[in-house]
Amino acid sequence: MNIQFKKGVLELCVLALLTEKNRYGYDLVNEISKNIQISEGTIYPLLRRLKNVGYVTTYLQESQEGAPRKYYKLTENGLKITGELKNDWFDFVKKVNGLLKGGGKDE
Residues that bind DNA (CB under 7 A): 3-4, 6-11, 24-27, 37-42, 44-49, 63-70
CA nearest to 47, candidates 20, 27, 76: 27
Residue 19 or 37: the one with the smaller Cβ distance to DNA is 37
Binding residues vs its own copies (CB under 8 A): 1-5, 7-9, 11-13, 16-17, 19-20, 31-32, 34-36, 85-86, 88-89, 92-93, 95-96, 98-100, 103-104
Selection from its own copies, DNA, none that 86 binds (CB < 5 to 8 A by kind) is: its own copies
SS3 80: helix
CA nearest to 11, candidates 61, 34, 45: 45
CB atoms within 10 A of CB 79: 13
